[in-house]
Amino acid sequence: MAEIAPNTSYVAVLGWSLRAIEAIDRFNRKYVVVAPSWAEEYAKDNAIPYIPWEFERLNDRSIELYERLAEEGVEVAVPLFEETVEWAGAINARLQNKPRLFPQSLLFRDKSLMKRRAQLAGIRVGVFEEAHDRDDVRRFLMRVNKALLKLDGDPNDPIHMKPFDKAGTYGHRVIKTNEDIDAISDDEFPCLLESHLDGKEFACEVFIHEGKIRFLNISEYVHLGYSVFIPASPALEEWRPQIRKAVEHLIQAFEIEHGLIHPEFFITHDGNLHFGEVAYRVPGGNAFELIERAYGFNAYQAQVLVSDPKATEAEIQAFFPREVVDAKGFAGCFLVYPKQRVISDIDMPDAVENDPYYEKHDLFMPANPKVAERVAFGNHYGTVYFFGDDSDRMRELLLKQEEYDFYR
Amino acid sequence: MSETGCDKAERLAAQLAEALDQLEAVKPFAKLNYQGHICDLTLRLLKEPQGVQWLYGQAARFDRAGVFYGGDWAHPASLQPALVSASVRGPALSVAIECLSELRLLAIATGQAASDKITPEGARTFLEDAIARNLDLLFPSSSEAARAERTPLLEGVHRLFRFIAERLGAQGILESTVSEAIRILQQRPILVHRVREMIDAAAQTLAGGGSDAIYEQARQLTNAVHGPSALSRSAASLERYREALAELDARALAEEAQAFARSMHETGLVSPQHAVLLEHVCAKGSGDGIARVLGLDSVGRDSLDVYGELVRRLIASLAHPLLAQSIYGLACMLNRGVLFFPPLAPGLWRLTRLQIEAEVAAALQRLVDESPTLSANAVLLAGTVSVLGQPLGVGQGDNPTCQSARAISLWSQCDPGFLLELITWAARDNEVDMHFEGQLLRSSELQSGGVAELHTELDPASLVLVPHLDRIYWEMGRRIAGRGEDGHKWINPEFHGWWVQRGFATVIQYSSGDVIDFEGFMRLFYISYHPAYNGARQLIYAQPAGIAATDKNGQFIGWHAVSIQRVTVDQDGEVRAYFYNPNNDSGQDWGQGIVTSTAGHGEFPGESSLPFKQFAARLYVFHYNSRELGDPAAVPAAILGEIAALARASWARGVGWHELVSTS
C-alpha cells in the first residue's frame, strides 16, 4: 500500500478485480477489498487487505457486512460490479448516515425503475414497459409498431428486451418478429421492454464529487459490442455542451453526490439526446484502460477519489486533466470473438501487428479451446488495443478488425 | 513512408523496456496483468531479424521484473531441457515464455546477470542440453516435415538458438551433442534417425575445431553414418563405391569388411555403403566374407552356416541403402542364435513371400518415402529382423503405447515364433486375433484404443502391429471393468503369454487410488525378485511390471509399463534391477537421486538399471511365481521403511496411505 494521505476516508472496495486492486493499492487511500471467499487464499498470499463476503441478494444478514466494515473503520464503500451496487448503497447509507443512498442505489439496479425516475424528471426516454411473459412482449411489439403507423406486412421496428439488473449488454435481445419472441426462455422474465431509439449511441464516464461533474469522458462506440474509442471524435465532441447539460440533469434527477456513473445516450439526427440507461460502477468494454491510455490518469483511483466525500477541491483539481485537450491521442479497442467453433492458438494477423496504431492485446489462449456460443453482445475472448492521433483512421481501423480472425 | 526492419525492432524494444518498467513496478499479485503484453512484444520481436539481439539486451532484468512470476519458469533450476522442444513449437504464449527464459539463462550463463535461483554453470548446462536435444532448431533440416512447420515465428526461434549457440561457444554444444548421441547409441535403439540428425549437426560444428578427444569421437560417429573406411569416404557416390569394391583384392576387401563391421558394432550405426558392401560380398558367394561384413561371432557364424540360404535371401532384401540400418539387426539376430528356434526360419521364409494387404503395404512404403526400388516385403523383413536382433531396442515412438512396445520386446525375447505369427497376420490380413478368457477378440472389430492417431515414426514391425495390439489391450481393459481390481492381473498373462506369472501384486487400492499395505507389497517383491531373499532364484522369463513414473523433482507423471529383465549383482557388488523401458530413451532422472543407468553397470544394450531399492521405490505392480518365494520375515524392516519413505516423498505424496495393522 502506498503512503496514506491525511484526512482521507478508509475505503472498502466491493468485488474482486486485480486491475482495480492493483491501482487502488498504489493510491493514497487506506483500503480493504470485500470479495467472495474464493479470493481469500490469493489475498492472503499477496498481503491484500481483505474481508470475505458472498454477494448474493440483500437479506437479513446484510447488516453483518455493515457491522464488520464499521468495526474496521471503513467510511466509504465503492462498488466495482453491477451486483455490488446495492450493497454499496446499503452500506454507505449507514456509514455516511444518508438513508436515501440505499433506495438511490436500487434505481441503478432496476432498469424499469431507472427509466421511470428519468421520465419523472423530464428526461427524454423511449417508450418502455415491464414484461412478465411472452404475451407482454408480443403486445408491446404490436402496440409500438401500431403507433409507428406500420401496416400489415411492413417489417416491424425492433424493440429491445433487457434484464432489469444485468450489466451492460448482458442478456440484451433485439426483437423484431414472433420467432424472436418464441426464442425467449421463461427464466428471462420479468424484464424491461423498450422501443428502439434510432441515432448514434454513445456512453459517458462521469466522475462526480459533491454533485458536480469533475471529469466527463465521452466514449464513442464504433460498433456496439465490438469497438469503442476515447476521447470521442471531434464530430461527437461538438455536442459536449448538450451532453454535459444532459448529464447534469441526470445527476440532479438521481440525486447523485459522489462517485462514478456510466450513462448511455442516443443522439438523434435532429440533435436530440435520448437517455438509454445509467450504471453506478466500473464500465465494461475496457473504458478505464482507454481513459488511462488517452489521459494518463488511473480511472480506478479516480473512482475512489470522487467517492470519498473527504477529498478536497485541491486534490481533485490536481488529479484530473482537462477534458479532450489534454488527451495524448485516441485510444481504441476491439473486442475479439472467435469466428471458429474450436480454436487451438492465437494467430495475430500481420496487418494488425504491423499497424502503427496497434499497441497490445490480451488474447492468449483461453483454457477451453471450444468456443462458447455468443450471448447477446457479451463474453468476448479478449481485447486488442490501438492508439493514434486521428479519430477517422481509428474508426476505420476498428471497423477493419471485424474482418479478421484472431485465432486458428 | 514505411518503417525499416531495424527501426521497427528498435521501436518494439523500446516498448518492451517500457512494459518491463511497468511490470517491475507493480506488486507481485498484479504481475499477471502485465505479463501478456511482454509476451506479445516478445513474439513480435522474434519475428524481426534483429529482434533476438534487442530481446537479449534486456534479458538481465526479466527475472527481476517478474516476467516469469507465478509460473513454472519462475524456478529455472527445475526446468527440463527435454521440454524445450515442445514449448517452442507449442502455443504462442509458451513460445514467448520459453524464449524469454532461454535468454534469461544465457544472461546468467555468460555472467551478464546474477541469479540466486540457478548458477551460471547450471544455466549453461541447461542451454547446452536444450540445444543438443534440439539441433534441428540450430541447423534447420530440409525435410518436408520441417518445411511444413516453418513459420516466421519458428524462424525467430531458429535465430534465437543460433544466437545462444554463438554465445555459448561451439565446444560445449559439440560435447553435449556427442555425449548425448553416444549415450543414446549405447542403448542400441532400432530407430536411429534422430541420433543421425544429431551427428550430422555435430559434424557442422566440427569445422570450428574442438578438443582432440571430442573431435575424435564426433568423427567416429560421423564416419559410422557416412563411411567407416577411407575408400567409402572418398567414393563420390554409392555407385562409385560399388565400382571401387570391384577393384579390391581379397585382402583389401577383408580389411574393408572389418572396418565396417567394427564401426557398426562399436556404434550401433550402419552407413548406406554397408549395404553396397554386403551385397557385393554376398554376390561373390563367400560365407566367410558375409560373416566378416556382419562382424559375426562364433554363434553368428554357426547360424550363417546352418541357415545360409535364408540369410542370403534376407540380405537380398535388406542390402539396400534405405534399409542399411537393419544390417545391424541381422548381425545381432544371427549372433543371438535365435534362428535355431524351430519356428523362426520357416516364419521368416513365409514373410519373404507374403502377400501384404494393400493398406499395410502403403504404410510400409511410406516409411521409405515410397522408394520404387523397395517392396513392402523388404521393409517389413528389415523391421522384423531388427526386432528379432534387438529386442531391447524397440521404442514406442511418440505414442502412448508403452504396453504394445513392451509386448513386442517381450515376445522377441521369450516367444519369437509367436511374434512372427502376429506380424504375419497383421501384414497379410490387417488384423490380429487374440483370446481373452475364452472369447475371441478381433482387432478389426474393436473400437480404437488409447491412441487416436498413430505417430508413424516407428520401426516397420511396430508400425504394423501396434494399432492392433493397442486396440486389443484396451478391449481387454474394457472387459475387466467393474471387477474392482487392477485389470493387469488378468490382462498381462493373456495378452503376453502363459509365461507371465499369475501371481499378481499391486500396492494401489483400485477403488480409492490409495496405497494399501505398502510394507506387505514390498516384502513380497523382495522375496520374489531379490536374490538374497528369494532363495537366489534367477528370473527365467522377463516379467511385465508397472512403475510410477516421476520427473526429476520426484513429481508423479503417470503409470508406466516396463519389464523386469533380471536382478543381479553388478561389478561393485550392488544388487540391481535391470529392466526394459519402452520409452525411446531410457536414461531418466526420476528425482530423489534416482537416475536410471543405461551403461556402466553391466547393462545389456537397451536395458536400464537401478539399485534394487531405488527401483522398488517406484514399483506399484508386479507379477510373481507364488511357488517360488523366500521367507517374508527375512526382509529387514529398515529397508522396507527406507523404500516407503522414498515413495511417500515422491509419487505417493498426497495419496492416502494405509498400512495393515500388525497383530503380532
Q: Hey, what's the cell of A208?
A: 462526480
> Smallest Cβ distance to A365: which of B3, B33, B91?
B91
Q: Which domain holds residue B623?
A: 503-658
Q: Which residues of B touch A33 (CB under 8 A)?
A: none
Give the residue-averaged pLDDT of B59-68: 94
Selected residue of B11, B33, B40 to mutate for chain A interface (largest A Cβ count, 10 A): B40
> Smallest Cβ distance to A365: which of B29, B40, B93?
B93
Which of B345, B349, B146, B186 minimizes the C-alpha distance to B268?
B186
Cβ-defined contact of A22 to B39 (cutoff 8 Å): no
pLDDT at B169: 77
**Cis-peptide, bond into residue A369, ω within 30° of zero:** no
> Smallest Cβ distance to B39: which of A46, A344, A364?
A364
If asked whether residues B532 and B641 sit together in one domain, one would say yes
The residue ranges of DSSP E strands in B383-526, in sequence order, are 433-436, 439-442, 503-506, 515-516
How many residues can be counted in chain B?
Answer: 664
If asked whether residues B116 and B221 sit together in one domain, one would say no
Distance from CA of A39 to the nearest CA of B (A): 12
List, for chain A, all residue ranges whose pLDDT scores fall below the cut of 70: 1, 57-58, 167-170, 285, 365-379
Give the residue-averaged pLDDT of B414-433: 96
Instruction: Provide the 3-class DSSP secondary structure of residue B540.
Output: coil
**Which helix (H) or strand (E) segment is A205 a member of?**
strand A200-209
> Smallest Cβ distance to B29: which of A46, A356, A364?
A46
Distance from CA of B10 to the nearest CA of A (A): 14
Which of B642, B596, B586 minimizes the C-alpha distance to B617?
B642
Q: Which residues of A touch B44 (CB under 8 A)?
A: 353
Indicate whether B659 pLDDT > 50: yes
B326 inside domain: no
pLDDT at B663: 54
- Which is it for the CA torsion B625, B630, B635, B639, positive or negative? negative
Question: How many CB atoms lie under 10 A from the CB of residue B234?
Answer: 11
Instruction: Provide the 3-class DSSP secondary structure of residue B423.
Output: helix
If asked whether residues B201 and B108 sit together in one domain, one would say no
Residue type for position B260:
F
The values of phi and psi at residue B439, to 5°, are: -105, 145
B347 inside domain: no
If asked whether residues B71 and B131 sit together in one domain, one would say yes
- Which is it for the CA torsion B606, B607, B610, B611, positive or negative? negative
Which of B9-13, B113-117, B499-503 is modeled with the greatest confidence?
Answer: B499-503
Cβ-defined contact of B93 to A42 (cutoff 8 Å): no
B346 inside domain: no
Give the residue-averaged pLDDT of B275-286: 91
Q: Hey, what's the cell of A371?
A: 468456443
Residue type for position A182:
D
If asked whether residues B218 and B160 sit together in one domain, one would say no
If asked whether residues B141 and B189 sit together in one domain, one would say no
Give the residue-averaged pLDDT of B640-657: 94
Q: What is the DSSP letter of A358?
A: E
Query: Which CATH topology does A11-107 take?
Result: Rossmann fold (3.40.50)
From the number of C-beta atoms within 10 Å of its C-beta (0-12, 13-18, 19+), residue B104 rates as buried
What pTM was estimated for this model as a whole?
A: 0.63
- Restricting to A residues 362-381, those with a Cβ less than 8 Å away from any Cβ of B are 362, 364-365
Q: What is the DSSP letter of A371?
A: P
Q: d(Cα B595, Cα B614) in Å, to the nearest integer?
A: 9
Q: What is the DSSP letter of B436?
A: E
Residues with Cβ within 8 Å of B116's Cβ and at least 6 positions away in sequence, in order, are: none
ipTM value > 0.90: no
If asked whether residues B108 and B218 sit together in one domain, one would say no
Q: Does A184 touch chain B (CB under 8 A)?
A: no
Could you give the number of structural domains in chain B? 3
Cβ-defined contact of B40 to A18 (cutoff 8 Å): no
Strand partners, B576: B568, B611
**Which helix (H) or strand (E) segment is A202 a member of?**
strand A200-209
At residue B1 the predicted structure's pLDDT band, cuts being 50, 70 and 90, is: very low
Lowest mean pLDDT among B9-23, B436-450, B526-540, B613-627: B436-450
Residue type for position B291:
A
Q: d(Cα B148, Cα B150) in Å, to the nearest integer?
A: 6
Reported CATH class of domain A200-403: alpha beta
Helices B298-306 and B308-318, axial angle in degrees (round to 10): 100
Q: What is the DSSP letter of B40?
A: H
Contact A381, A338 (CB under 8 A): yes
If asked whether residues B183 and B217 sit together in one domain, one would say yes
pLDDT at A281: 87
Residues from B in contact with A at Cβ < 8 Å: 3, 26-30, 32-33, 36-37, 39-41, 43-44, 91-93
Strand partners, A173: A161
If asked whether residues B85 and B184 sit together in one domain, one would say no
Contact B351, B380 (CB under 8 A): yes
- Which is it for the CA torsion B170, B171, B172, B176, positive or negative? positive
Q: Where are the alpha helices (H) located in A34-100, listed in sequence order?
A: 40-45, 62-72, 85-95
Cβ-defined contact of B27 to A25 (cutoff 8 Å): yes
User: What are the residue ranges spanned by the domains of chain A?
Assistant: 11-107, 128-195, 200-403
Examine the fold and report which residue of B191, B207, B226 is the final residue of a domain before the chain moves on: B226
Report CA Rg, chain A. 22
Distance from CA of B44 to the nearest CA of A (A): 8
Which of B406, B658, B420, B648 minimizes the C-alpha distance to B543?
B406
Cell 542399411: give the residue. B324
From the number of C-beta atoms within 10 Å of its C-beta (0-12, 13-18, 19+), residue B64 rates as middle
Strand partners, B610: B577
Distance from CA of A287 to the nearest CA of B (A): 16
The residue ranges of DSSP E strands in A210-298, in sequence order, are 212-223, 227-230, 259-267, 273-279
Contact B476, B491 (CB under 8 A): yes
Contact B389, B332 (CB under 8 A): yes
What rounded mean pLDDT belongs to chain B?
90
Q: Which residues of A touch B39 (CB under 8 A)?
A: 364
If asked whether residues B106 and B193 sit together in one domain, one would say no
Q: Does A2 touch chain B (CB under 8 A)?
A: no
Q: What is the DSSP letter of B37?
A: H
If asked whether residues B161 and B187 sit together in one domain, one would say no
Q: d(Cα A306, Cα A301) in Å, to the nearest integer?
A: 9
Contact A386, A357 (CB under 8 A): yes
The pLDDT tens digits for B296-314 are: 999 999 999 999 999 999 9
Cβ-defined contact of B39 to A42 (cutoff 8 Å): no
Cβ-defined contact of B27 to A18 (cutoff 8 Å): no
B184 inside domain: yes
Q: Hey, what's the cell of B21?
A: 518498467
Instruction: Provide the 3-class DSSP secondary structure of residue B441.
Output: strand
B482 inside domain: no
Strand partners, B624: B503
The pLDDT tens digits for B154-196 are: 889 989 998 998 888 777 777 878 888 898 899 999 999 888 8
Contact B13, B71 (CB under 8 A): no
Q: d(Cα B555, Cα B240) in Å, to the nearest integer?
A: 55
Q: Hey, what's the cell of A393?
A: 483512421
If asked whether residues B207 and B73 sit together in one domain, one would say no
> Smallest Cβ distance to A345: which of B39, B41, B91?
B91
Q: d(Cα B633, Cα B635) in Å, to the nearest integer?
A: 6
How far, in Å, are A274, A307, B174 from residue A197 at the CA level? 8, 32, 73
Indicate whether B142 pLDDT > 50: no
